[in-house]
Chain A
């Protein structure tokens, strides 16, 4: 079966003509006695869309939080654009072009939509007082949401008033309309109906066509993931148990992988 897991991932050896934007090697993350990530290696190429599948508790969100600088790995190394880095903070990762839609969305219910869209990167009016430029935030938030096409009546509305799908749209718009080069989406479609999911997938498609944006998307819907992603990874119990180009695998094969214990898969070759 798959040999991907067995072979140690070389520190930096992307295929010719392909620019690698992200590489993690042997990432381990422990929370006390819990090992969330047990030596995960992954990479992402420029313009590529990587889909990560796996059960609840497999370590997917933890991996994402390490890539955003929100959590530091227990061990392992990260390279961004070929440069090895230890991400010091979320701002540090952001400065390197990494943006994220967290699974919990990281929205503040008591703040307006436009304040949420610019949280921690608020445009300021000039001058010594460094006041918030609320007008610019309102205008740009409105434009961003209109561009996606998701129906959100008024950017002055508190996020507390929005439906789950609308909240996800706000979180996605926030990440997309920053100057992200690497976009991480942790279950971005979880609370969305068919119409909203369609709009977001359209948006992702448009972004992909731009060519300079690379994405990692965590999802639950296998068919949908196979359709939109270029490559698929499966996480199980903090390890990568399967990795393949989306065109070379299928839903039945993925289901088969899930059914078997990762140890069986590893021992099979």
Chain B
């Protein structure tokens, strides 16, 4: 009877009427989860440029790029951690400590390049320690890194006696670190591209998503979940250290009060606004760059428009909330699984 209306189950796929090409490409674009936040960034840039002609000047773009570089570099680490279900609240303090490690190592007679790598290794080791306490000793990383946040801050203040020092310089090293206008953002973009590729195209990245998405299942599949988590803590420490040294090199001064928790929160905010969920299992590095861009454009635009810092905080707070609501409730509407 009804046999002729019953299609074989497999024939269903693709049988829906196709919408016109415009709708389809719009949908295709928005399906890329980073796209919506990029659209927001561009709309904000258009708004600020039209409200103030000083926005898209070379000098202002330089200010903007310098503001977002460090949080974006740190966000690359935080995003990896958030994806695998962890967080590092101490990254802003590692940011401040790193150039001091380099400074003291260099003062002790170690060549600057070597001192630089020592500082990165030291920061990576701090990350490993965070990972060890969180994963092996099973203290939630929120609490672990809250502790190390204070600890590292106190340590930096102690070794510096609370005073800034001059960042050591040397021709080639300082050139690479970039004391010129746009060098820091070049570092940030290169790191973003490398990390984006790593997240989507390497086993490390895939297993980071897997561990955050299903911890027990990942272990049952034979993934070394401890190694993945501790590795991402170490990575975040090293990236925070690198960002701190880049900033100290650009400014020429190494300040114990640089960075700190505002820097860490900026990085986490960039990650979250960019589309990384705090619940683990999903996230995007490029999104973190765009999230950082949105924050930077807001901060910078409001500054040249003469709106004060209080308003800025209100806007950032609202942006985080809107981004999270959007992530949780609208992300499901898009077709997923496009890696």
Tell me the A residues contacting B by CB distance below 8 Å. 65, 68-70, 89-91, 94, 100, 102, 104-113, 115, 119-120, 122, 124, 129-132, 134, 151, 153-154, 156-158, 160-161
Interface residues of B (CB under 8 A from A): 9-10, 12-13, 201-203, 206-207, 209-210, 212-214, 216-223, 281-282, 335-339
Choose from A119, A120, A153 the contact partner of B13 (Cβ within 8 Å): A153
* Residue in A94, A124, A157, A161 whose CB lies within 8 Å of B203: A124
A161: chain B residues within 8 A (beta carbon): 336-337
Cross-chain contact A109 with B214 (CB below 8 angstroms): yes
Evaluate whether A109 and B338 lie within 8 angstroms (CB atoms) in the complex, with A130-B203, A132-B201 already known: no
Q: Within the complex, what minimum Cβ distance (angstroms) separates A90 from chain B?
A: 3
Q: Please state if A111 and B203 are interface contacts (CB–CB under 8 Å).
A: no
Please determine whether A111 and B338 come into contact, CB atoms closer than 8 angstroms: no
- Bound complex: CA of A70 vs CA of B220, how far in Å? 6
| Known A70-B219, A110-B281, A132-B206: A158·B201 in contact at CB below 8 Å | no
CB closest chain-A residue, reference B218: A108
Residues of A within 8 A of B223 (CB): 119-120
The smallest beta-carbon distance between A165 and chain B, in angstroms, is 12
Bound Cα distance A105, B221 (Å): 10
Specify which chain A residues have a CB less than 8 angstroms from the CB of B10 in the assembled complex: 151
Q: Which residues of A lie under 8 Å from residue B339 when comparing CB positions?
A: 111-112, 115, 134
Whether A106 contacts B214 by the Cβ 8 Å rule is: yes
Contact B217 A160 (CB under 8 A): no
In the complex, which residues of chain A have a beta carbon less than 8 angstroms from the beta carbon of B214?
106-109
Q: Which residues does chain B contribute within 8 Å of A68, judged by CB atoms?
A: 220
Give the residues in chain A near B281, CB-CB below 8 Å: 108-110
**A106 touching B220 in the complex, CB below 8 Å, given contacts A119-B210, A156-B337:** yes
Q: Report the minimum CB–CB distance from B18 to chain A (whole Å).
A: 16
Cβ of A90 and Cβ of B203 under 8 Å apart? no
- With CB as the reference atom, state the residue of chain B lying closest to A70: B220
| A100 and chain B: residue at smallest CB distance | B220
5 A-B pairs besides A110-B336, A131-B201 with CB distance below 8 A are A104-B216, A109-B214, A115-B206, A120-B207, A134-B201
